[in-house]
Amino acid sequence: MTDTKGKVVAVNGNMVSVEFDGKVSLNEVGYVKVGGKSLKGEVIRIRGNTAQMQIYEMTNGISTDCSVEFTGDLLSVEVGPGLLGQVYDGLQNPLPLLAEKSGYFLERGVYLPALDENKKWEFTPTAKEGDKVFAGDNIGTVPEGPFTHKILVPFGFLGTYTIKKIAKAGEYKIHDTIATLADEKGKSVNISMSFKWPVKRAVNCYAERLSPDEPMVTKVRLIDTFFPVAKGGTYCIPGPFGAGKTVLQHTTSRNADVDIVIIAACGERAGEVVETLTEFPELKDPRTGRSLMERTIIICNTSSMPVASREASCYTGVTLAEYYRQMGLNVLLLADSTSRWAQAMREMSGRLEEIPGEEAFPAYLESTIASFYERAGIVKLRDGNVGSVTIGGTVSPAGGNFEEPVTQATLKVVGAFHGLSRERSDARRYPSIDPLDSWSKYKSTIGHNLVEFARNVYKRGAEVNQMMKVIGEEGTSLSDFVIYLKSEFLDAVYMQQDSFDEIEGASSVERQKYVFNKIVEILGSDFDFEEKDDARNFFNTLRQNFIDMNYKEFKSSDFTKAEKVIESTLSSKNAQVSNEAKKLLKDGE
């Protein structure tokens, strides 16, 4: 605590105005004293000697005679060994321990240590006395779940430091001194295995920021092939309620080619948060065969916290992600849903009496969303290792309207757009990403020209489908009808995927390339059809053959048998691959 004290002079929902005597900083943490409890808040605006604070608890009982104590510290999280497998609220309180202390109804004003202060960790030094180090450098390691957790020099250290003393290999608690450093002026400072870092300050302790061009494989065919995401990139998943955002996030969390998964449930309904909390410990990690929670951190708001805490959840999540990136790990942060965060900003902006923007959202909505997504990235560290933070945010626009401000502000900064369609979800075509509206700026796992060839077939088929709704099937030529059947075939056997099957739910890059080449052959083939019913029956049979193959383990005997059935079906109609398709397949582009 500092010597700066204050007094509440006004209360407006979860925002209080405080007159203070001394120095106060933006984003500084303060505690309002009420009823024998200290309620945590953050300074969001300063006007003269009056500070507006958003309180992260229910503000019942706060009146103009309540005192306020300022800490001098910015809103921060504690980082160090023991983060993985934890479930936190937006202020990094461990919720399981909070529930043990408070019961079903969480007490306000109760704040617990984020990390276990009594657990001992097996420390192994990687630096020695006399070494020169900088902020973010690795000086030792401890084992944490399936990873080697690197002990880093705190991010806030400026300039060059010399290691005067470092602990020997052995067991230590997170707050035990493990090294003594001296700065350029000879001043010594002790460091432990943990430290705090402000959540709204990006971590920049790396040598170089790289361009995100390596695909982050999700094993979801529609994403990896048509709308890929890069490691260190950004993407958004807007869609109406019930369109499959949560299942898609679970699938991505389980199968994505990343080391750490962080879920920031910054605005989902209680039922979906409970589903996340109960299902993630049960999900099997394909890498280790153990619980997925061993490499996952979940951050979610509780119903006893006001809407302003949604902002804290987002920034807490991205700060933890940056911390693990600094170890050379690949991290995926899933924020669900940023629409609720934006609505909380709108509510707080109204209480601050700011000039509103479109649909009463604050005028700085776009810059705030951009500053969050800009903290993603792939970086080269000073030791030569590369780490990344990939951010995927879901958006819940009212009525599925993608023209609303939050979706549009997000689209301006992300690298991929996975728009979910109500029409596709109602038709049970999952994942319900709309192949016509969605897009990606990143490189696909499959050759660009091959993907464009298949995309064009799908677009032409969709146009024929719209035309058929007007003039009917009888008014459509056989050639156009075959294009429509090809597009429906592509949709059914490749774009749609069963997330609940162990084999079909996770399609490797090798399998995607192999199957996609077969599909391109079919899309680029001419067939001997006498009439539309003949074509319809053929593609229905072929579709079922491919779906059966999708459920067989890749290159197994059953998979080979399914391939032979497909070849037999194709030969029955004398399939002739076009020269264009042959050239594309030969070039592999």
**Residues of the binding site:** 239-246
What 3-state class would DSSP assign to 205? coil
Residues in the chain: 589
Burial class (CB in 10 A: 0-12, 13-18, 19+), 537: exposed
What 3-state class would DSSP assign to 394? strand
With beta carbons less than 8 A apart as the criterion, state whether 396 and 340 touch.
Answer: yes
**Torsion sign over Cα 471, 473, 477, 479:** positive
What 3-state class would DSSP assign to 108? coil
State how beta strands 377-380 and 147-152 pair. Answer: unpaired
Among 82, 92, 86, 207, residue whose Cα is nearest residue 149: 82
What letter represents residue 525's amino acid?
S
With beta carbons less than 8 A apart as the criterion, state whether 229 and 218 touch.
Answer: yes
> What DSSP state is assigned to residue 474?
G
Burial class (CB in 10 A: 0-12, 13-18, 19+), 551: middle
Contacts for 543 with CB less than 8 Å, ≥ 6 apart? 488, 489, 492, 493
CA distance 456 to 116: 55
> What DSSP state is assigned to residue 154?
-
State how beta strands 67-74 and 28-34 pair. Answer: antiparallel
With beta carbons less than 8 A apart as the criterion, state whether 212 and 388 touch.
Answer: yes
Query: What string of DSSP letters covers 79-93?
Result: ESTT-TT-EE-TT--
Among 336, 364, 339, 334, residue whose Cα is nearest residue 349: 364
Among 31, 25, 64, residue whose Cα is nearest residue 44: 25
Contacts for 269 with CB less than 8 Å, ≥ 6 apart? none
- Summarize the annotated binding site for ATP as residue ranges: 239-246
The CA-atom distances, in angstroms, between 532 and each of 268, 365, 368, 566, 569 are 47, 53, 54, 20, 17
Burial class (CB in 10 A: 0-12, 13-18, 19+), 186: exposed
Ordered alpha helix ranges (H), 398-508: 405-411, 422-426, 448-471, 478-490
In the chain, how many H helices and how many E strands?
15, 28
Tokens at 437, concatenated: 């509206």
